[in-house]
Chains A and B, each alone.
Chain A
Amino acid sequence: METRRVLHQLFDDAVARYPDNTAVVEPGEGSINYADLAVLSNRLRDRLHALGVRSGDRVGIYLRKSIDGVAAIYGILKVGAAYVPVDPGAPAERNSYIMHNCDVKAVVIENRFAEKFRAEYERLGALPYLLTLNGTGGGRALRQALDDADQEARAPEIETASSNSRDLAYILYTSGSTGKPKGVMLSHENAVSFVDWCSEVFQPESTDRFSSHAPFHFDLSILDLHVSLKHGAALVIVSEEVGKDPLRLAPLIAEQRISIWYSAPSILALLAQFGNLDRHDYSTIRLLLFAGEVFPVKHLRALHALVPKPRYFNLYGPTETNVCTFYEIPTLIPEARTSPFPIGVTCSHLSSKVVGENGSEVVAGEEGELCISGPGVMLGYWALPELTAQGFIVDAAGLHWYKTGDIVVEASDGNYTYMGRRDRMVKRRGYRVELGEIEAGLYRHPLVEEVAVIALPDEEAGVKIKAFLSCGQEKHPSLIELKRFCSEHLPLYMIPDSFSWHETLPKTSTDKIDYQRLKEMA
């Protein structure tokens, strides 16, 4: 696949072909077409350049998801810099750590976040330039901020940077096991090779309407933003509040005539259970994509029964590679099936292999760690050369393979099945216990809605297994009933030592169960 192109070039090509098409819709705040989005992003490009931002620099984005945010992303790319989006809901301390860590030259920030950010950042070093917006919504705040800056001194118009495919496009920070987030560096080539793969498999049209459910600091947003805007399609922004609330989200998806949905499974499970989906018309949805964690089959089956028409795809891949394997869910999901679906086959732009504990490739059918190579694989972790080196194996031919940390098994049909995280396996009484297997067992209980199982070191027992659950109704099953249920579905050595019930389980900003938080609660 030809990948000498860069993200902002894909966008500009779409602008030339579809200037009047709607580019971004922000329900309640209006919409913007391709031509106007191009103008807005060009103006930001010029302003950033006037502020001293040059090719290769990093620029932070500290905004709620909005048309302003999308314009900011492209403005930053067009000046040749990499965008560094942060979670606006995260503490200012964490966000300033991130911005300082990758030494941003400027930050496009909403004024509601600016004061705390400033205070935190000044503890770390000299403040970068802050382009402060009076809120976000419809692109108006960005436009106003640019107008105000132009009043003082007009920013000269410059040419859009002709970046190279190996240039940094964005840095996404993910949680680090040491406690400090680490920045995954992704190049234009990384992004474009993935975007092109999406074009090949999903065949987007300019008439498509993509959901933007994921926040911009989550790599699911790469598909939403850059695939929709490559094809002249419309991107419909789902705000964070609506995105968490199935009762408001369900009608929105229908009203906005979404044709391609992409999100983590947890919101889909909530929609299936609480969204009253049968009240709405989802005939426009043609693709339903999910990624980020295992989708419990009982909830997938329920969703599929309510929304049967679209093609469903399970997409898998860490931030370091974006999507690297995919699997199409069959139209008929057997009632008896409880085990999660495979993560599928390797995407055509990448290569994969399964490696055993000794570092060499396993025999077919044996489990091992999934390793990926190809143009979609990250450049590395920002300023962490050792950690970066540890994340790769270099083979005899000098090819770099990224170690995903995920254990898989290849079936005879070539599909990979996910077995668990390398670090989610513990030994209990000498037996190998996969925490995910315990979760799958507990999910089979009809009253159990969410499950998360953690292992904690214990002086006496070596390890103690704790299960956190949420239930669909007032009265949850008794401990005795739960233990008996476990004894019927799991080997005795896999039955958790303790169980606790919660209304819902804590989630991360990317909508996955927050295991870190659960460990702290335990």
Chain B
Amino acid sequence: MTEDIKGTVKEYILQEFLPGEDPNELTDTTPLITGGVLDSIGTVKLVMFIEERFGVTLQAHETDPDYLNTIESISNLILSKRS
């Protein structure tokens, strides 16, 4: 179940924000916001994707780097929302 989420999120990020990048470069712990992959508009897009794709609603405080900075932390957030 966890792998599905990570895989889906990873695929989305690669497609939307890292065109042409080698998928192996994007790991579960690659810093996305602090590492410049997601700017403020990118973060908004990611939030919209997560809410739509996984049927969850994010609180305002859950859209900052503490929750969304890595695929690992995004996946944990989604799991916690679903349980």
**Could you list which residues of chain A lie within 8 angstroms of chain B, going by C-beta atoms?**
429, 461, 478-481, 483-484, 486-487, 492-493, 495, 498
- Are A461 and B41 neighbours in the complex by a CB distance under 8 Å? yes
Closest residue of chain A to B30 (Cβ to Cβ) is A480
- Sample 20 A-B pairs with CB under 8 A, ordered by A number: A478-B22, A478-B25, A479-B18, A479-B20, A479-B21, A480-B18, A480-B21, A480-B25, A480-B26, A480-B30, A480-B37, A481-B25, A483-B37, A484-B35, A487-B36, A492-B36, A493-B39, A495-B36, A495-B39, A498-B19
Assembly CA distance A419 to B27 (angstroms): 38
Main secondary structure of the interface of A (DSSP, over half): helix
Contact with A along B34-49 (1 / 0, CB 8 A): 1111011100000000
Assembly CA distance A136 to B22 (angstroms): 52
Min Cβ gap B70→A in Å is: 12
**Could you list which residues of chain B lie within 8 angstroms of chain A, going by C-beta atoms?**
18-22, 25-26, 30-31, 34-37, 39-41
Q: Given the known inter-chain contacts A479-B18, A479-B20, A480-B30, please indicate yes or no for A492 contacting B39, CB distance below 8 A.
A: yes
Between A479, A480, A487, A498, the greatest number of chain B beta carbons within 10 A of the residue's beta carbon is seen for: A480
The 8 Å CB contact of A486, one of B19, B21, B36, B41, is B36
- Are A487 and B25 neighbours in the complex by a CB distance under 8 Å? no
User: What would 8 more interface pairs be, CB under 8 Å, given A480-B35, A492-B39, A495-B39?
Assistant: A478-B22, A479-B21, A479-B25, A480-B18, A483-B36, A484-B36, A487-B35, A487-B36
Q: Given the known inter-chain contacts A461-B41, A495-B39, please indicate yes or no for A478 contacting B21, CB distance below 8 A.
A: yes
- Are A483 and B20 neighbours in the complex by a CB distance under 8 Å? no
Min Cβ gap B81→A in Å is: 27
Min Cβ gap B68→A in Å is: 14
- Are B26 and A429 neighbours in the complex by a CB distance under 8 Å? no
Assembly CA distance A487 to B36 (angstroms): 5
Assembly CA distance A429 to B39 (angstroms): 11
Assembly CA distance A481 to B35 (angstroms): 8
Closest residue of chain A to B26 (Cβ to Cβ) is A480
Assembly CA distance A487 to B33 (angstroms): 9
- A492 cross-chain contacts in B, Cβ below 8 A: 36, 39-40
Min Cβ gap A106→B in Å is: 53
- B37 cross-chain contacts in A, Cβ below 8 A: 480, 483-484
Ranked nearest first, the 3 interchain pairs of A and B with the lowest CB-CB distance are A487-B36, A483-B36, A484-B35
- B22 cross-chain contacts in A, Cβ below 8 A: 478
- A479 cross-chain contacts in B, Cβ below 8 A: 18, 20-21, 25
- B19 cross-chain contacts in A, Cβ below 8 A: 498
Assembly CA distance A138 to B40 (angstroms): 63
- A480 cross-chain contacts in B, Cβ below 8 A: 18, 21, 25-26, 30, 35, 37
- A487 cross-chain contacts in B, Cβ below 8 A: 34-36
Min Cβ gap A83→B in Å is: 49
Closest residue of chain A to B42 (Cβ to Cβ) is A497
Assembly CA distance A484 to B70 (angstroms): 13
Min Cβ gap B10→A in Å is: 12
- A478 cross-chain contacts in B, Cβ below 8 A: 21-22, 25
- A429 cross-chain contacts in B, Cβ below 8 A: 40
Min Cβ gap B25→A in Å is: 4
Assembly CA distance A480 to B19 (angstroms): 11
- B34 cross-chain contacts in A, Cβ below 8 A: 487
- Are A483 and B35 neighbours in the complex by a CB distance under 8 Å? yes
Closest residue of chain A to B41 (Cβ to Cβ) is A461
- B31 cross-chain contacts in A, Cβ below 8 A: 484
Assembly CA distance A481 to B21 (angstroms): 10
- A493 cross-chain contacts in B, Cβ below 8 A: 39
- B36 cross-chain contacts in A, Cβ below 8 A: 483-484, 486-487, 492, 495
Assembly CA distance A484 to B37 (angstroms): 7
Between B19, B20, B22, B39, the greatest number of chain A beta carbons within 10 A of the residue's beta carbon is seen for: B39
Assembly CA distance A487 to B65 (angstroms): 14
Assembly CA distance A398 to B25 (angstroms): 63
Assembly CA distance A356 to B39 (angstroms): 33
Assembly CA distance A498 to B17 (angstroms): 9
Closest residue of chain B to A428 (Cβ to Cβ) is B39
Closest residue of chain B to A483 (Cβ to Cβ) is B36
Assembly CA distance A498 to B31 (angstroms): 18
Assembly CA distance A478 to B30 (angstroms): 12
Assembly CA distance A441 to B62 (angstroms): 31
Assembly CA distance A355 to B54 (angstroms): 56
- B40 cross-chain contacts in A, Cβ below 8 A: 429, 492
Assembly CA distance A476 to B26 (angstroms): 16
Assembly CA distance A232 to B38 (angstroms): 62
Assembly CA distance A495 to B17 (angstroms): 13
Min Cβ gap A486→B in Å is: 5
Assembly CA distance A484 to B32 (angstroms): 9
- A461 cross-chain contacts in B, Cβ below 8 A: 41
Assembly CA distance A429 to B42 (angstroms): 13
